[in-house]
Amino acid sequence: MILDTIKRVCKYALTNEAEFIERVRQESALQEKNAVRENKKKLTKSKRRRDEVTGLVRKLYESYAAGKIPESQFADLIKSYDDEQVHLDSEIARLQSEIDDFHIDSMGADRFMELVKKHMEFSALTPVLLNEFIEKVIVHEGDKSSGKRIQKVDIYLNFIGNFDLPTLEVAEELPTRLSKGRKPRRLMTPEELEHEREIDHRAYAKKRAKRIAIEQAERDKILAGTSFEMLASSQNDSTKIAV
């Protein structure tokens, strides 16, 4: 599976280099936006808790000074709050650093293309190939809900992550004419290739829009019935108007 993924992505990258680079950059931009948004939420939550702890420590000192709590209890509570403050300070610094460091890795596609051109011919998965191409492999829990066991595996490539090949690229494996009379891309004229790439662009845009809609629906479902529901709805309406 890993070898097949490397082969398919390398073939697509070589055949459609400009389009491949653009795809990687678009995906990087989307991932960056989602990651930064999530980190900002966590940062706001940590800062809020840090302020709460500071206020609790101040009240604790006042109660201790007024003789309202014994020294032993005061010492235990102070240590607990102090440990939490140290943890929060570390978490705040980490999140802020990640937010500051997040940027679109425009060099990712170029660096992957260097690997592709370095390993033009290979038929087996060697340790060198594995180390240079593969970032990580995530094997999900088996799903038997359909009556058959389905095992999902996500393969992340170095520099480009879990790259999603265009659906039409699967058909390139066929040695003869494809469905609806289309030829394999290696046999197409420049004009035919340009037409196929335009179809790819439209399919990719449609798939991306569908994924964003699903993510928004999931967020709306989570917020339904909460105090944030109206806020999320107004933001969605603003986004639609802007679009």
pLDDT at res. 240: 44
pLDDT at res. 175: 39
Say if residue 111 is in the same domain as residue 15: yes
Distant-in-sequence, close-in-space partners of 232: CB < 8 Å, separation ≥ 6: 219, 220, 223
**142 within some domain:** no
Find, among 150, 204, 156, the residue nearest to 20 by Cα: 204
Residue 185: which domain range? 166-243
Domain count, the chain: 2
200, 19 Cβ separation under 8 angstroms:
yes
**83 within some domain:** yes
Say if residue 115 is in the same domain as residue 2: yes
The whole-angstrom separation of Cα 179 and Cα 129 is 34
Say if residue 8 is in the same domain as residue 98: yes
Q: How far is CA 87 from the centre of its chain?
A: 26
Judged against a pLDDT cut of 60, whether residue 132 lies above it is answered with yes
**76 within some domain:** yes
**171 within some domain:** yes
Judged against a pLDDT cut of 60, whether residue 234 lies above it is answered with no
pLDDT at res. 38: 84
Say if residue 89 is in the same domain as residue 179: no
pLDDT at res. 173: 43
Say if residue 49 is in the same domain as residue 108: yes
CATH number at residue 113: 1.10.287
Say if residue 186 is in the same domain as residue 79: no
Judged against a pLDDT cut of 70, whether residue 184 lies above it is answered with no
pTM of the model: 0.44
User: Which among 64, 93, 123 is the end of a domain?
Assistant: 123
The whole-angstrom separation of Cα 167 and Cα 80 is 54
Say if residue 28 is in the same domain as residue 87: yes
Judged against a pLDDT cut of 50, whether residue 39 lies above it is answered with yes
SS3 label, residue 18: helix
- The 10s digit of each residue's pLDDT in 84-118 is 999 999 999 988 877 766 554 556 788 888 999 89
Q: What percent of the chain has pLDDT over 70?
A: 71
Judged against a pLDDT cut of 70, whether residue 170 lies above it is answered with no
Say if residue 20 is in the same domain as residue 95: yes
190: confidence class by pLDDT, cuts 50, 70, 90: low
Say if residue 5 is in the same domain as residue 115: yes
**116 within some domain:** yes
